[in-house]
Every structure is written in structure tokens, then in C-alpha cells.
Structure 1
Amino acid sequence: MKIVSKPIEVVCWFEEDGSPHPVRFRIKNDDDTKCTIKINKVMFTDKEKFAGNPILVFNCLSLVNDSEKFLELKYEINTCRWYLYKI
């Protein structure tokens, strides 16, 4: 997997305890077009800290350009920001 670390727009749903579940996301390409990618399956979720900030890490399986790829999405809990970290 290649590290990308780009901010993304995410559609997700939240459980009563506040834990998010991503459904799909939109990323801005280099030519300023936007691409929407549906998350087929969340393989597992992990928690980590980066510079003292709590982060949720989602390892997902998605269909990108007609091939299945593993993705890693990161959600910063304090700022409510999503990032496509690895693809």
C-alpha cells in the first residue's frame, strides 16, 4: 500500500456511543475532479495516538478502478476530520 494522507469527505453513520462507521468517501484528484468510492467492507478498526491526538484507523476493502483494494482511513476524533492514509 502507498501512503497518500489526503483529506477526504466521508459519509458515515454513528452508533449511540459515538463510534463512526464509514459508508463511502469522496476524494479530490490531481486534476480537481472528485471521485466517489464505496467501502465494501471494514476489515477491522484500531485506535492509535498521533502527537497526543486520538485517531480511529479503519482498514477497508473497496472497489477502485474495477479492482479490489485495501484502504486505510483515519478519523481524528478531536477535529472530526477524515483522511485517506493508505491505498
Structure 2
Amino acid sequence: MADRLDDKGRPWSGDFHRQQILRQRINRIIDGKDVVDIMAAIGTITANMVADLSESEDVALRGIEAHAGDLREVVRARFAAKKAAH
């Protein structure tokens, strides 16, 4: 199976189609809510999932750090693109 690519041509992590479905569902649920509250709730869910699936605290914390780094990279890239467009 060929790798799915994001809108920048980079390999997509995970199941692109499933992530799009989940993203649409989440967007319907959170419409109009504060972004800080949304991220706090998603962060708690993610931390619990990582803790449940990890073999050790060290592995879990490395996963959380990788996730935070990905979040920062995506946000920076998206805002850089917005600035370049204006």
C-alpha cells in the first residue's frame, strides 16, 4: 500500500482516512468552544492512552514529548504559511 501524504506531500502518520473522520466528529462537538479547554481535554485523553499503552513511564514520557514536538511543528508551519500568504 502506498503511503498517504498530507497537503505538503509529507508521509502521513497513521490512518489518514480514519483521522479525517475523527477530526470531523471532533470539530462538530467542539464548535465554538475555547481552544485552551479543547487542548486540555485532548491532552488528558492522550496522556491516559499513552500511559495505558506504554511499557514504562520513560517510554510514555518520550511519546508525550514527541507528540508535543509534533504539535509545535504543525502550529508553526501553519502560521508561517498564513503569514506568507498575506
TM-score category, normalised to shorter length: under 0.3
Looking at secondary structure, tell me which structure has more helix per residue: 2
Looking at secondary structure, tell me which structure has more strand per residue: 1
TM-score normalized with structure 2 length: 0.22
Greater RCO structure (CA 8 Å; 6+ sep): 1
TM-score normalized with structure 1 length: 0.22
